[in-house]
Structure 1
Amino acid sequence: MLYYLAELSQNLSALNLFRYITFRAGGAFFTALIFGFLFGRPLIEMLRVRQGRGQPIRADGPASHLVTKAGTPTMGGLLILSAIVVSTLLWARWSNGFVWMVLFVTLGFGLIGFADDYAKVRKQTVAGVSGRVRLLVGFLIALVAGAWAMYLHPTDLTGQVAFPVFKTALLNLGWMFLPFALLVIVGSANAVNLTDGLDGLAIMPVMIAATSLGIIAYAVGREDFSAYLGVHYVPGTGELLIFVAALIGGGLGFLWYNAPPAAVFMGDTGSLALGGALGAIAVATKHEIVLAIIGGLFVVEALSVIIQVVYYKRTKKRVFLMAPIHHHFEKKGWAEPQIVIRFWIISLILAMIGLATLKLR
């Protein structure tokens, strides 16, 4: 919205700053951060009063969680989502379709997560909305987003999948790009959801991955940068840097309260929404495969669950002491802060590798 102040720059040259994505990204970051600091405590108190006993804790999980995490309110993702929406609408260009597409996915998956969290808190059980319903609604949201992205992409990239490292390699999926985009978005949403099991574990890797995708979005959205780097030019994606900056600001505001011992959990409200957002940005920027590198931690977390379930069904034995894999390390005696910080380091390394693919062409 504030972008349109630039139209008054003939009268006041300082307003020309609002034309620049980088300036508005900075504004979006600080707006979301301040929003998180201002409304974090009141939201937590409201959730604590309304939820009473807080988020139900898995009885089959690490025994320490029954003591250290019992009574902690959930749905803290509402703080992040509110900060993202307010900040993005304030600083982004409303005429940009990619921004609306990513917001649609974020809020859509946020609603799925909210319904799931609400059901868990109300029934005081770890079983919320059925998995089939969650997947079905998620598939529908991702399907709309995939079609939306195909409409927004330039003609020569519509239905195409780009490969990292290979400069001109494209795989034309045609309309099969829709199920591919669906897999990326839904897979990303659920992978982040599985990662959210320890205080601060998910939000920092999400911010790291989002930062990487924001850089990519800005680069591929500029014709000069994309030509220099040898990546495919996708007009309009640069504006997604505003959304990413808002996500990082809102994420830091949330982390202030989610730092161990957490005063609030983001819940499925936040994890599904943020994971969906990462997938949507990857689809928009034609960097779906790079997302698997940047978000490698989420991939490993999801694979650990899949491997555990499949292997147990076949052999009645377990590969990991507990899945997702962060609980495996808890069972092995690692302290929670050790796991969280080491996983943050891994996320940062993977993000650097993912960004390196921009130049390795």
Structure 2
Amino acid sequence: MLYYVLYALRDYISPFNVFRYITFRTAVAIITAMGITFLLAPETIKFLKRISLTQQIRSDGPQTHLTKAGTPTMGGVLIVISTAVSILLWGNLSNRHVWILLISTICFSAIGFWDDFLKVSKRNTKGLRAKYKFGLQIGVALAIAVAQYLNVSDPYSTSLIVPFFKKWLFDFGIFYVPFSVFVIVGSSNAVNLTDGLDGLASGLVAIAVFATGVLVYISGHAGLAQYLQVIYINGIGELTVCCGAIFGASLGFLWYNTHPAEVFMGDVGSLGLGGALGTLATLTKHEIVLVVVGGIFVIETISVILQVGSFKLTGKRIFRMAPIHHHFELKGWLEPKTVVRFWIIGFMLALLSLATIKLR
């Protein structure tokens, strides 16, 4: 909203012309999201403690986690609020891609909020039943996928771009809809599985969305896209502002979520952030790159699948505990060391995803 007001003043005060640039608004969106988080976090944490919305710790998990009992959860509302406000302030709201991403983030966060609320308000429940949880996620993802499929103005709406190759893509046609649903729902739950250590998910999301933002900006810039031989998608560059908002919100939340965490994001944060990353990937046609930039999320998910599959088939476990970050904890890695090492790997994967730009 402020974007429209301030940019309209350019005819009277020339410096306001700077608001036309996506890079400038992205920087402002980062600062805004971080500022809102810092402003709201202290009182939000106190409020969550006061109404006893605190994390319940599994007795069969790492024993070092038992000290976390009583830590406020559902702090992900801070990320959602700061992201949404920042986007509404600095994004071009006439761009349909911005609305798709914003609605996706809010809807997935709402599912997570419901799940979290059931967990903390009824101590004898495991939250929202799986069939309802996945059903709602699939429903939201399906609506997003159909909206993209029906976008006749986008010639690549049903295409899958293969990185490392110059404009090599496959047109899935109607089958892109279920593929898109798989990517979005899978991304949402992958981030959710990763959210098990202080600062792990929020830090990795910040890294992933920063790298994604660079790719999005290039895809939406006609000159850069042509120079780097990347598929140009008209209007997609505006999502760079959204990436900036998510990045700023994640960093702001990380201030309070780093070890020892003052607040956990809960499913309201992890499902929302994961849904946002998945939606970004499908909107920008970077689904395969998402596997690279979000490699830790993928590894965490695969570790759970392998663990469950192995136990059901053979009665034996592959890892000491899944997701895999708990495996390393039980091997003796301290929690902060585990988190930082996973961040380092995430950063390396982000650099690799950016390298796909030149290796074409």
Please classify the TM superposition score into its range, dividing by the shorter chain length.
over 0.9
Find out whether 1:297 has 2:296 as its counterpart.
yes
- Superposition pairs for residues 155-194 of structure 1, below 5 Å? 155-194=154-193
Q: How far apart, CA to CA, are the structure 2 residues paired with 1:51 and 1:187?
A: 31
Write the distance in 2 (CA, Å) between the matches of 1:142 and 1:69: 33
Worse-superposed segment, 256-265 or 117-126: 117-126
Counterpart for residue 65 of structure 2: 65
Q: Aligned residue for 1:116?
A: 115
Number of residue-to-residue matches in the alignment:
359
8 Å CA contact 1:2, 1:18 repeated in 2: no
Cα deviation for residue 154 of structure 1 reads: 4.2
The structure 1 segments of at least 4 consecutive aligned residues displaced by more than 3 Å after TM superposition are 151-155
CA distance in 1: counterparts of 2:328 and 2:261, whole angstroms: 20
- Residue 276 of structure 1 corresponds to 275
Secondary structure of the 2:63 match is: coil
CA distance in 1 between counterparts of 2:33 and 2:323 reads: 31
Match of 1:202 in 2: 201
Separation in structure 2 between the aligned mates of residue 22 and residue 151 of structure 1, nearest angstrom: 29
What secondary structure, in the 3-state scheme, does the structure 2 residue paired with 1:171 have? Answer: strand
How far apart are the structure 2 equivalents of 1:236 and 1:56? 44
Cα RMSD (Å): 1.1
- Deviation track 1:65-93 (CA, whole Å, cap 9, x = no partner) reads 11x21000100100011100111100001
Q: CA distance change for structure 1 residues 153 and 288 in 2, over 3 Å: closer, same or farther?
A: farther
Looking at structure 1, the residues matched to 193 and 255 of structure 2 have their Cα atoms a distance apart, in angstroms, of 21
2-structure distance, mates of 1:250, 1:94: 19
* Structure 1 unaligned blocks of 5 or more: none
| Counterpart in the other structure of 2:222 | 223
Deviation at 1:156, TM superposition (A): 2.7
Aligned partner of 1:102 in structure 2 is: 101
State yes or no: 1:88 paired with 2:84. Answer: no
Which amino acid in structure 1 is aligned with residue 277 of structure 2? L
How has the CA–CA distance of structure 1 residues 21 and 224 changed in structure 2, closer, same or farther, with 3 Å as cutoff?
same
User: Which aligned pairs between 1:1-361 and structure 2 lie closer than 5 A?
Assistant: 1-4=1-4, 5-51=6-52, 54-66=54-66, 68-125=67-124, 127-152=126-151, 154-361=153-360
Which secondary structure state, in structure 2, belongs to the residue aligned with residue 156 of structure 1?
Answer: coil
Would you say the 8 A contact 1:98–1:152 is kept in 2?
no
- Cα 1:34–1:311 change in 2 (3 A) is same
How much does 1:169 deviate? 1.3
SS of residue paired to 1:265: coil
Counterpart CA distance in 2 for 1:35 and 1:305 is 35
Within 2, Cα distance between the matches of 1:153 and 1:302?
A: 34
- Relative to structure 1, the CA distance from residue 10 to residue 207 in structure 2 (aligned partners, 3 Å threshold; closer, same or farther) is same
Contact preservation (8 Å) 1:97, 1:152: no
Percent pairwise identity: 50
**Tell me, what secondary structure is at the counterpart of 1:161?**
strand
Query: For 1:314 and 1:219, how far apart are their aligned partners in 2?
Result: 46
Answer yes or no: is the 8 Å Cα contact 1:98–1:149 preserved in 2: no
Deviations 1:298-331 (A, max 9, x none): 0000000000001110001000000000000111
Name the CA distance, whole Å, in 2 between partners of 1:46 and 1:101: 31
Question: 1:146: how far off?
Answer: 1.2
Residue 125 of structure 1 deviates from its aligned partner by 4.6
